[in-house]
Amino acid sequence: MNHTGVRSTGSPRAARTRSESAGDGGTAGAVLTTADPPRPLSSGASETDRAPGTYPASVEPRSLAGPRDGAGARAGSGGPGDDRPADFVAALESLAAVRPRPEIVVEDIPAPQRLAPFAHALAARVPEGEGDDEVELAVARFIVLHDPAGHEAWDGTTRCVGYLSASTDEHMVDDAMFSEVAWSWLTDALGDCGAAWHALGGTVTRTASTRFGDLAGPEHSVDVEIRASWTAEDTALGRHLDAWLEVLANAAGLPPPGVALLGPAGTAPERP
């Protein structure tokens, strides 16, 4: 079964920069990003150098880094000659219909190869706001793997893989219940969004760091990762993406949609 861990947590104090998210020497970057910047919407990847049914059952973190040469998802218009399965196309259409909340930026990125005959990948991030687009409260990936022949380890044909990373309050590293709470964000969100799923697995990891010398960033920080994967039971993958973005919002410490945080002295923030 495929396992992926996700960093998720409450109100983040130590913001992470886009360069840190991209893996400038950090272990999360190897899992989280590709060597290429986000590119326009892509329609899926087809692997031709493997025999059907020989794709790995386990999607390890490094696998999500994708190809180093920029070759990832194969673009397709859905027109004549399009060999993508109808279920995969329907899943992509469902993803395209998702409308993230304003605080979350979602972009298409090259999909990983050699994990399934067809794949699609999205990156999501929560900028800190106030015009600083380079500082991010949380970052995430959402990857769809599809094997029309089915996969024994998945117990299905479509596997969703999620990864997210966020910085959180230092006291969270000692909270014995935090991992259970963070994992419940995902299970609750899948249920609330009406996603049909089974074979869910993953990890919640908390890491405390202390910086010394000339390293940039806060002296002390706590990072949380959540890696998860599950099998989708239908093509309504928009519901699965909605659920993952809800987990990302929780990790970034965003308030529920429609709820404004109080400003200084308990006053509501001014509207533009």
What sign results for the dihedral spanned by CA atoms 80, 52, 34, 58? positive
236 vs 69, residue with greater confidence? 236
22 vs 174, residue with greater confidence? 174
Say if 272 falls within a structural domain. Answer: no
Confidence of residue 170 (pLDDT cuts 50, 70, 90): confident
pTM exceeding 0.75 = no
Tell me, what's the pLDDT at 209? 78
For 71, the token pair is 């070759």
Say if 20 falls within a structural domain. Answer: yes
Rounded-to-integer distance, Cα 145 and Cα 119, Å:
5
Per DSSP bridges, beta strands 220-232 and 5-7 are antiparallel
Mean predicted lDDT score pLDDT of the chain: 72
Residue 168 is part of which domain span? 5-266
Contacts for 71 with CB less than 8 Å, ≥ 6 apart: 110, 113
Count up the domains in the chain and report the number. 1
Say if 253 falls within a structural domain. Answer: yes
Confidence of residue 233 (pLDDT cuts 50, 70, 90): very high
Say if 271 falls within a structural domain. Answer: no
Top mean pLDDT of 59-68, 141-150, 171-180, 252-261 is at 141-150
Rounded-to-integer distance, Cα 187 and Cα 184, Å:
5
Say if 256 falls within a structural domain. Answer: yes
